[in-house]
């Protein structure tokens, strides 16, 4: 019997108990100044919280919850474990799925119709609870609606279009087993001097590249050497690719074109801190944390309702989308009455094409949300490193391929951010009779999730500010997907321009690639009747003799009548603002209440529109789309993304229908993008890079809400300093 895991668990529990004991002890004894103890602290008498730097705060440890005791409080609360088990029981007796139980690829809340959610008030009975199930049986994809109150399947539709459901962990496991038992793989690894025990394989999605790949679910398998390093991504067995039929459990194609390409060395590629033998060649950075002597300013009610400052919203984890923000409301700065801003916001799809036509690379054009799931690939966040002190952690309740629920712990954190930024400031010099120094700190609330999709990590931040602004950021981290090469220096490459990327280390090319993230933003400014307005900045020329100026800019408003009017490609020299307004809600000055989307740094897809990856991801052809609300149009890449042709995407819906969108319930879609030309600093790990956009109020408030925000003062905060300082 294996005893090491039990021993490790016992040892970890012992450490936790020891840390808690030490925390209590240090918090309840007077702090003694000892110059030899650089980690001890001195605090003034006004301190309310001043703990030894080694203490562990209760808020930093997410205590495991018994989710079997959960029950829903809000119409948008995710399915509970009990509800999931009930759905499984209903499906197990549903005749069209018998005698065998189907593979479950998705099982989530079938959200109530929007009008029911908007009418619901706290204390009202919940609308009927339903589950939306995507199941695969005998090669057919079923979309089922299950009424939990009735205990019945009320709808069963079979997908007759292209594509398959999101992969399950069982699919990936099957593909791995089939590949690792293939005789040709053993021969190829031995030829490279690699043992099967040192092999780690991954399963890139196959994409879609014509009729030869249709009619069966296929996946690619590629392998790496993990000998001497957990960072196996830096040690590819280049040129070796297997195509596996998942359902038939067989290798349908084996390719090995990597003769003469060595397996790169693993020296200095281990990214774990404990593996770093040499001290860093930099001055050490002392631990840092923000002070919150009264604790966090936010609350999380009933597990999903977040309240902070003037904001309130519903927060949950979704197996496909990851982090989902719903019913975002902000209190009116004059009346304090909550006002609607956004009904629902989430990352709908990602598109990550690699720029290499090689036989072992051309298919790498991932659609991560629809193929693997952003929530499904999110792992537990690391306290104090992923999320600061006083964070609240939220679990995800997801469903495995056999229809049983499981807990993905601590995949979302909520915390307040203060990084020394300024929300507003102004000073007046005394010469005008005023001697004013006024400033307000920028404190915000962040809801965060990080998904580890293979080698890449995606960090999603939804940041709420007291001035009404929502800042949405996506950060990329992790490791590169690299290509093996026989060359060790750049001058050995005969034609560097023909290479798919630069040399980033010996025998490794960093392949050029893109990242696109498309967001579904169901804006409901003060109600559902909204209008999209494009405000163009247009150059006007002055008349002769009118002014010393020759030109100036004017803002010209253009109301979008149909979807065609709202397809936007961002242009630096044709600047515009993009407003979502409620024409029925006016300020005291007569301006319509609205929010505008403010793009940050961005990139556009440059692929040919007829290139198969771009056909499937045509939603990236524009940075902005606007569509009428349709509860069946949530996934920009289509409901069935895996191996899809692109016939059920945002671009397909919008172009074929060109529906009216003026003064309607509308959805704003925004795509932010990255071009990535790798460099040596991306090896063996990548620095985090970010891009973002903002949702900013426009005539929504009567004045700036920050006007009444209080500044900070020394009396509000503890004063702590290292014991060694004087």
Specify the range with the lowest mean pLDDT, choosing from 490-499, 530-539, 543-552: 490-499
What is the mean predicted confidence (pLDDT) over 11-32?
Answer: 34
Beta bridge partners of 532: 580
Reply yes or no on whether the pLDDT at 311 is more than 50. yes
Please give the pLDDT value at position 163.
96
| Omega before 684 within 30 of 0, i.e. cis | yes
Per-residue confidence at 292, pLDDT binned at 50, 70, 90?
confident
- Please report, to the nearest 10 degrees, the dihedral formed by the alpha carbons of residues 434, 439, 440, 442 taken in order: 150
> Secondary structure of 493-520 in the HEC alphabet?
CCCHHHCCCCEEECCEEECCEEEEEEEE
Residues 6+ apart with CB under 8 A from 76: 109, 111, 112, 117, 304, 314, 316, 326, 327
Residue of 77, 110, 356, 368 marked active site:
368
Q: Which two tokens stand for residue 189?
A: 């690894």
Please give the pLDDT value at position 293.
84
Specify the range with the lowest mean pLDDT, choosing from 36-45, 385-394, 548-557, 658-667: 36-45
For residue 101, give the 3-state DSSP assignment: coil
What is the mean predicted confidence (pLDDT) over 434-456?
Answer: 94
DSSP H/E element including 484: strand 482-484
Above pLDDT 70, what percent of the chain?
Answer: 90
pLDDT tens-digit map of 43-60: 443 333 444 333 334 444
DSSP designation for 431:
G
Of residues 277 and 105, more confidence is placed in: 105
Q: Which two tokens stand for residue 581?
A: 């307004």
- How far apart are the C-alpha atoms of 343 and 109, rounded to whole Å? 16
Residue 370's Cβ-count burial label (10 Å; 0-12, 13-18, 19+) is buried
Is 573 assigned a catalytic role? no
Q: Which two tokens stand for residue 705?
A: 């809400």
Reply yes or no on whether the pLDDT at 288 is more than 50. yes
The alpha carbon dihedral of 256, 353, 667, 658 has a sign of negative
pLDDT tens-digit map of 650-669: 999 998 889 999 999 999 99
Which residue in the block uniquely carries the two structure tokens 């005969």? Answer: 494
For residue 370, give the 3-state DSSP assignment: helix
- How far apart are the C-alpha atoms of 647 and 208, rounded to whole Å? 12
Q: What is the mean pLDDT of the chain?
A: 90
Please give the pLDDT value at position 83.
98
What is the mean predicted confidence (pLDDT) over 189-201?
Answer: 94
Beta bridge partners of 478: 456
CB 355 within 8 A of CB 509: no
Reply yes or no on whether the pLDDT at 18 is more than 70. no
DSSP designation for 642:
B
Q: Which two tokens stand for residue 665?
A: 């319930």
Is 368 assigned a catalytic role? yes
pLDDT tens-digit map of 602-646: 999 999 999 999 999 999 999 999 999 999 999 999 999 999 999
Please give the pLDDT value at position 300.
97
Please give the pLDDT value at position 62.
59
Give backbone dihedrals phi and psi of 396, rounded to 5 degrees, phi first.
Answer: -110, 135
What is the mean predicted confidence (pLDDT) over 76-102?
Answer: 96
Helices and strands of the chain, counted as H and E runs: 8, 34
- How far apart are the C-alpha atoms of 207 and 368, rounded to whole Å? 11
Residue of 164, 343, 354, 456 marked active site:
456
Please give the pLDDT value at position 150.
97
pLDDT tens-digit map of 225-260: 999 999 999 999 999 999 999 999 999 999 999 989
Which residue in the block uniquely carries the two structure tokens 């014991």? Answer: 723
- How far apart are the C-alpha atoms of 329 and 526, rounded to whole Å? 9
pLDDT tens-digit map of 336-371: 999 999 999 999 999 999 999 999 999 999 999 999
CB 477 within 8 A of CB 686: yes
What is the mean predicted confidence (pLDDT) over 371-392?
Answer: 96
pLDDT tens-digit map of 405-425: 999 999 999 999 999 999 999
Per-residue confidence at 720, pLDDT binned at 50, 70, 90?
low
The alpha carbon dihedral of 110, 113, 114, 118 has a sign of negative
């Amino acid at each position: 019997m294996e005893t090491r895991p039990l021993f490790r668990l016992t040892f970890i529990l012992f450490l936790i108990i020891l840390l808690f004991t030490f925390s209590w002890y240090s918090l309840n004894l007077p702090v003694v100044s000892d110059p030899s103890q650089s980690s001890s602290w001195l605090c003034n008498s006004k301190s309310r919280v001043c703990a030894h730097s080694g203490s562990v705060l209760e808020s930093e440890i997410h205590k495991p919850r018994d989710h079997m005791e959960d029950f829903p409080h809000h119409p948008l609360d995710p399915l509970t474990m009990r509800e999931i088990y009930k759905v499984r029981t209903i499906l197990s007796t549903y005749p069209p799925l018998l005698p065998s139980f189907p593979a479950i690829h998705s099982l989530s809340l079938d959200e109530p119709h929007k009008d029911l959610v908007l009418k619901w008030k706290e204390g009202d009975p919940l609308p009927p609870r339903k589950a939306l199930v995507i199941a695969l049986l005998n090669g057919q994809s079923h979309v089922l609606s299950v009424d939990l109150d009735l205990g019945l399947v009320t709808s069963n539709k079979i997908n007759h279009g292209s594509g398959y459901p999101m992969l399950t962990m069982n699919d990936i496991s099957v593909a791995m087993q089939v590949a690792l038992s293939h005789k040709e793989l053993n021969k190829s690894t031995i030829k490279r001097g690699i043992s099967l025990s040192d092999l780690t394989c991954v399963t890139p999605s196959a994409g879609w590249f014509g009729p030869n790949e249709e009619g069966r679910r296929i996946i690619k398998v590629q392998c790496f050497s993990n000998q001497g390093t957990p960072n196996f991504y830096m040690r590819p067995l280049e040129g070796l690719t297997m195509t596996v039929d998942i359902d038939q459990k067989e290798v349908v194609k084996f390719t090995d074109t990597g003769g003469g390409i060595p397996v790169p060395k693993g020296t200095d590629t281990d990214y774990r801190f404990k593996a770093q033998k040499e001290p860093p060649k930099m001055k050490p950075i002392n631990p840092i944390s923000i002070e919150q002597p009264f604790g966090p300013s936010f609350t999380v009610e009933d597990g999903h309702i977040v309240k902070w400052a003037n904001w309130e919203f519903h927060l949950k984890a979704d197996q496909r989308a990851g982090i989902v923000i719903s019913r975002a409301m902000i209190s009116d700065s004059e009346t304090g009455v909550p006002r609607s801003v956004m009904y629902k916001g989430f990352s709908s799809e990602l598109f990550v094409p690699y720029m290499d036509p090689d036989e072992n690379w051309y298919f790498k054009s991932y659609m991560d949300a629809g193929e693997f799931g952003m929530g499904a690939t999110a792992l537990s966040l690391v306290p104090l490193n992923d999320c600061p002190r006083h964070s609240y952690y939220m679990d995800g309740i997801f469903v495995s391929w056999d229809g049983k629920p499981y807990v993905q712990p601590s995949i979302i954190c909520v915390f307040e951010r203060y990084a020394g930024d300024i929300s507003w400031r102004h000073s007046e010099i005394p010469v005008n009779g005023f001697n004013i120094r006024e400033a307000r700190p920028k404190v915000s609330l962040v809801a965060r999730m990080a998904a580890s999709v293979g080698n890449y990590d995606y960090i999603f931040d939804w940041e709420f500010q007291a001035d009404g602004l929502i800042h949405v950021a996506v950060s990329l981290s992790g490791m590169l997907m690299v290509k093996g090469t026989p060359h060790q220096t750049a001058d050995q490459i005969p034609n560097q321009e023909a290479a798919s990327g630069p040399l980033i280390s010996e025998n490794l090319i960093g392949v050029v690639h893109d990242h696109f993230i498309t967001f579904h933003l169901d804006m409901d400014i003060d109600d559902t009747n909204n209008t999209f307005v494009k405000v163009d900045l247009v150059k006007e020329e002055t008349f002769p003799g009118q002014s010393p100026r020759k030109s100036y800019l004017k803002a010209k408003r253009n109301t979008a009548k149909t979807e065609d009017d709202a397809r936007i490609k961002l242009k630096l020299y044709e600047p515009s603002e993009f407003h979502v307004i409620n024409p029925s809600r006016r300020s005291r000055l007569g301006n319509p209440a609205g929010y505008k989307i403010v793009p940050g740094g961005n990139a556009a897809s440059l692929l040919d529109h007829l290139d198969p990856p771009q056909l499937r991801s045509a939603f990236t052809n524009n940075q902005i789309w606007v569509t009428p609300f349709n509860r069946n149009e949530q996934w920009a890449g289509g409901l069935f993304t895996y191996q899809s042709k692109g016939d059920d995407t945002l671009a397909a819906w919008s172009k074929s229908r060109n529906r009216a969108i003026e003064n309607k319930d509308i959805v704003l879609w925004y795509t932010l993008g990255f071009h990535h030309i790798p460099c040596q600093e991306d090896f063996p790990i990548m620095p985090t890079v970010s891009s973002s956009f903002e949702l900013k109020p426009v005539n929504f408030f009567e004045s700036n809400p920050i006007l009444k925000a209080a500044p900070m003062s020394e009396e509000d905060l503890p004063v702590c300093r290292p014991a060694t300082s004087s």
